């Protein structure tokens, strides 16, 4: 088990290197540069001499392979470089943003799990009922609705019209500020989990061992506790993992919309001004999160299903 | 007890049909099972054997529905019982084992706790008291190393062992009646013989009656005292096993027996195909339509 986890963690290294290389390449072919986004006081672009000077200052005048090599050397020392704009270490910038990001992603996921899974369960217990139809219609809408639109809708209703909750900002971590962005971000995973759970429960209920449980004389609630819950978890744990893993990256739209000081908004702002070290750093963290969650899912999977062994 | 353990009268099972009479899968099935008896129900697939057994347990598979009939057990009609009281009987007084030992057990639960469940459900034991009883039950079905096996998961056992686990589970509460629906069909021949012997010995010891359902005439001949022959949802013949095999009366039974391969005969000689399919088809059945036959033969 320990060996397995260690090996999986080591296997992340090539993936992270590949991601780093990819980001490097993309920014070298994209038009625009950090110096190009700066304007000198007025509306004029900077003079070519000044641009060259700025580029030299950040090492952007060196050839791409050299820059990549320098980057890698720093990366293995856990140094993500220095932001072009703020001149602060990228590590510090990320450290300041990671907690709000995790807070948002985990609250969204908690909402999705605590509402989506029970809803899917109830819907599956009474297929064709009103609850089932309403849940499934809601789930399809939840999956097809653009996140930002749901966010705007929530803002409009609960912040502007009703005035119950603030419409933007971190609010020094107050729960009031977290509620709307968490709902906006969590709604799609909630919908997906409700659907997956419903399908999973129906699949398990149709299996032979449920007929055995009925022949044994188990009541419906005993059957669900002893023979359905765990079996359904096997089917939905993958979906849950993929959602948690990708939520950090997905959050950028919602973070921008609600002015949430997370990794996503940091990344978007940095892309706009070509602050390459910051973009690279945030993407690496988001990818790392995804990979770690994946390992975690596999471990949980093996813990639930005895037929799966980690090797 | 001198009367029958279970008296089935006029059991009719069908699929309700909005636009007409329901299609009847099992029609007017009547037979009884005496205490401690091994009663065989034989017939080709689709003849309604399993559907009847599941109906007795109150476990009809949708869209099948019990339409008519009674199944009297100790003066109560199983088919008219409340769900709650039926649940009390199921597994305790009447238990069932199925054809597919590979899928009939919960793949994620240990063998021991799946058997222990019976004692928790019907004897009111706590889980910690039920576990040692489960090990005893495993020992009773001659599973080697019952203590170790109780901690195993179904996928770690062979088909034969899994079917023994099913038997241990079904016999855990010493039921009056064991319904065995094709218990050995999925097993290979040597394991099959062992499992059948185990069922017979256990039931003799506990005084449990068996309703043995099989399409295998050999299994039926080996095990049963009385046999009912089903075809197309109807009971065609009900006799003592010996009499049935030496002197079949109903043409369908005669055909069935003639279709058996005999030792020493050539593949075709002295052996008949069960060509008389028309007899197995009841064109007068309510809800019957010629279209039901189409997949079997040529275009209508």
Whole-number Å distance between alpha carbons of A295 and B74: 58
Q: Does B78 touch chain A (CB under 8 A)?
A: no
**Mean pLDDT (chain B, rounded):** 84
Nearest to B95 among A215, A219, A304 (CB): A215
Contacts of B104 in chain A (CB under 8 A): 208-209, 211-212
Domain limit, last residue, from A73, A90, A107: A90
One domain for residues A150 and A273: yes
A294: in domain = yes
Of A286-290, B99-103, B198-202, B211-215, least confident by mean pLDDT is B99-103
A186: in domain = yes
A281: in domain = yes
pLDDT at A108: 92
Please name the residue of chain A whose CA is at the shortest distance from the CA of residue B53. Answer: A215
Whole-number Å distance between alpha carbons of A3 and A6: 5
pLDDT at B179: 94
Contacts of A305 in chain B (CB under 8 A): 107-108
One domain for residues A68 and A117: no
One domain for residues A175 and A251: yes
One domain for residues A50 and A25: yes
Contacts of B87 in chain A (CB under 8 A): 217-219
Q: Does B162 touch chain A (CB under 8 A)?
A: no
One domain for residues A176 and A135: yes
Whether the per-residue pLDDT at B65 is higher than 80: the answer is: yes
Whether the per-residue pLDDT at A158 is higher than 60: the answer is: yes
Of B120-129, B180-189, B252-261, least confident by mean pLDDT is B252-261
Of A52-61, A62-71, B22-31, B265-274, least confident by mean pLDDT is B265-274
pLDDT band at B298 (very low <50, low <70, confident <90, very high): very low
Boundaries of domain holding A64: 2-90
One domain for residues A39 and A82: yes
A287: in domain = yes
Structure confidence by residue, pLDDT tens digits, B235-264:
888 888 888 888 888 888 887 787 777 776
Fold assignment, B6-30+39-253+276-296: Rossmann fold (3.40.50)
One domain for residues A106 and A64: no
Structure confidence by residue, pLDDT tens digits, A19-73:
888 888 887 777 777 777 766 555 666 777 777 777 777 777 778 888 888 888 8
Structure confidence by residue, pLDDT tens digits, B95-112:
999 988 888 999 999 999
Share of chain B above pLDDT 70, in %: 86
Contacts of A218 in chain B (CB under 8 A): 87, 91, 117, 121
One domain for residues A133 and A242: yes
Whether the per-residue pLDDT at B147 is higher than 60: the answer is: yes
Structure confidence by residue, pLDDT tens digits, A94-109:
888 888 899 899 999 9
Contacts of B92 in chain A (CB under 8 A): 217
Q: Look at chain A and report how many structural domains it folds into.
A: 2
Whether the per-residue pLDDT at B151 is higher than 80: the answer is: yes
Which residues are B231's β-sheet partners?
B234
Q: Does B169 touch chain A (CB under 8 A)?
A: yes
Residues ≥6 apart with Cβ < 8 Å to A241:
A293, A294, A296, A297, A300
Nearest to B118 among A216, A304, A305 (CB): A216
pLDDT at A39: 61
Location of structure tokens 């219609």: A137
One domain for residues A167 and A260: yes
One domain for residues A186 and A285: yes
How far away is chain A from the Cα of B12, in angstroms, using its nearest Cα? 21
Best A127, A210, A217 residue to mutate vs chain B (most B CBs within 10 Å): A217
pLDDT at B291: 52
Ordered strands of the B94-97 beta sheet:
B94-97, B177-181, B209-214, B38-42, B226-231, B234-240
Q: For the whole model, what pTM was predicted? A: 0.80
CB A183 within 8 A of CB A116: no
**Domains of chain B by residue range:** 6-30+39-253+276-296
Helix axes B111-122, B159-171, angle to 10 degrees: 10
A175 against A133, higher pLDDT: A133
- For chains A and B, CB pairs below 8 A equal 71
Mean pLDDT, residues A147-173: 81
Contacts of B117 in chain A (CB under 8 A): 216, 218, 226
Question: In the numeric block, which tokens belong to residue A86?
Answer: 């703020």
pLDDT at B286: 60
pLDDT at B290: 55
> What per-residue string of b and e applies to A130-143 under the rule 16 or more CB within 10 Å gives b?
eebeebbebbeebe
Mean pLDDT, residues A282-295: 89
A106: in domain = yes
> What CATH number is given to the structural domain containing A137?
1.10.3720.10
A310: in domain = no
Please name the residue of chain B whose CA is at the shortest distance from the CA of residue A226. Answer: B109
Best B58, B94, B107, B166 residue to mutate vs chain A (most A CBs within 10 Å): B107
pLDDT band at B136 (very low <50, low <70, confident <90, very high): very high
Residue A39 host element (H or E): none
Whether the per-residue pLDDT at A253 is higher than 50: the answer is: yes
One domain for residues A86 and A98: no
Strands B65-73 and B94-97 turn out to be unpaired
Count helices and strands in chain A by DSSP H and E runs: 14, 0
A311: in domain = no
One domain for residues A18 and A133: no
Whole-number Å distance between alpha carbons of A168 and A162: 15
Structure confidence by residue, pLDDT tens digits, B210-222:
999 998 888 888 8
pLDDT at B271: 52
How far away is chain A from the Cα of B290, in angstroms, using its nearest Cα? 31
Please name the residue of chain B whose CA is at the shortest distance from the CA of residue A216. Answer: B91
A141: in domain = yes
Please name the residue of chain A whose CA is at the shortest distance from the CA of residue B90. Answer: A217
CB B161 within 8 A of CB B149: yes
Location of structure tokens 């900002």: A169
């Amino acid at each position: 088990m320990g060996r397995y986890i260690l090996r999986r963690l080591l296997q992340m290294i090539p993936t992270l290197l590949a991601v780093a290389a990819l980001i490097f390449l993309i920014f070298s072919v994209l038009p625009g540069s950090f110096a190009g986004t700066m304007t000198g006081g007025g509306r004029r672009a900077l003079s070519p001499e000044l641009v060259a000077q700025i580029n030299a200052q950040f090492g952007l005048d060196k050839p791409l392979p050299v820059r990549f090599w320098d980057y890698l050397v720093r990366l293995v020392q856990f140094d993500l470089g220095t932001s072009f704009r703020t001149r602060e270490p990228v590590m510090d910038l990320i450290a300041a943003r990671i907690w709000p990001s995790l807070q948002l992603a985990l609250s969204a996921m908690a909402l999705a799990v605590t509402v989506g899974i029970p809803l899917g369960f109830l819907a599956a217990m009474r297929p064709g009922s009103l609850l089932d139809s309403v849940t499934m219609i809601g789930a399809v809408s939840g999956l097809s609705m653009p996140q930002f639109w749901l966010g705007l809708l929530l803002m409009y209703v609960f912040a502007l019209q009703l005035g119950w909750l603030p419409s933007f900002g971190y609010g020094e971590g107050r729960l009031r500020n977290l509620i709307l962005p968490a709902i906006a971000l969590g709604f799609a995973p909630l919908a997906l989990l409700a659907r997956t759970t419903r399908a999973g429960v129906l699949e398990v209920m149709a299996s032979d061992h449920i007929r055995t449980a009925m022949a044994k004389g188990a009541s419906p609630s005993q059957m669900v506790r002893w023979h359905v819950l765990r079996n359904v978890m096997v089917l939905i744990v993958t979906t849950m993992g993929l959602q948690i893993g990708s939520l950090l990256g997905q959050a950028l739209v919602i973070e921008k919309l609600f002015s949430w000081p997370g990794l996503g908004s940091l990344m978007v702002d940095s892309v706009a001004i070509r602050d390459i070290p910051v973009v690279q750093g945030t993407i690496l963290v988001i990818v790392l999160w995804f990979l770690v969650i994946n390992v975690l899912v596999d471990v949980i999977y093996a813990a639930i299903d005895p037929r799966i062994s980690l090797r | 007890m001198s009367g029958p353990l279970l008296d089935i009268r006029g059991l009719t099972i069908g699929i309700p049909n909005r636009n007409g009479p329901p299609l009847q899968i099992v029609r007017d099935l009547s037979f009884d099972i005496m205490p401690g008896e091994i009663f065989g129900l034989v017939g080709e697939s689709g003849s309604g054997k399993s559907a009847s057994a599941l109906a007795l347990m109150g476990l009809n598979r949708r869209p099948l529905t019990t339409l008519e009939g009674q199944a009297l057990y100790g003066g109560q009609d199983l088919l008219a019982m409340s769900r709650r009281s039926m649940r009390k009987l199921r597994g305790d007084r009447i238990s069932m084992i199925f054809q597919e030992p590979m899928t009939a057990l919960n793949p994620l639960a240990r063998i021991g706790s799946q058997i222990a469940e019976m004692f928790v459900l019907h004897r009111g034991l706590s889980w910690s008291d039920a576990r040692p009883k489960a090990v005893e039950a495993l020992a009773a079905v001659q599973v080697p190393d019952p203590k170790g096996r109780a901690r195993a998961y179904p996928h770690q056992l062979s088909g034969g062992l899994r079917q023994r686990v099913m038997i241990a589970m079904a016999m855990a509460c010493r039921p009056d009646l064991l319904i065995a629906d094709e218990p050995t069909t999925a097993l290979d021949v040597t394991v099959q013989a062992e499992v059948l012997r185990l069922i017979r010995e256990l039931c003799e010891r506990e005084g449990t009656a068996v309703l043995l359902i099989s399409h295998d005439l050999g299994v039926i001949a080996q095990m049963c005292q009385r046999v009912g022959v089903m075809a197309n949802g109807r009971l065609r013949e009900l006799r003592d096993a010996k009499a049935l095999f030496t002197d079949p009366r109903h043409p369908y039974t005669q055909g069935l027996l003639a279709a058996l391969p005999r030792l020493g005969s050539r593949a075709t000689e002295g052996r008949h195909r069960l060509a008389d399919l028309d007899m197995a088809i009841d064109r007068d059945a309510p809800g019957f339509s010629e279209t039901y036959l189409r997949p079997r033969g040529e275009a209508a």
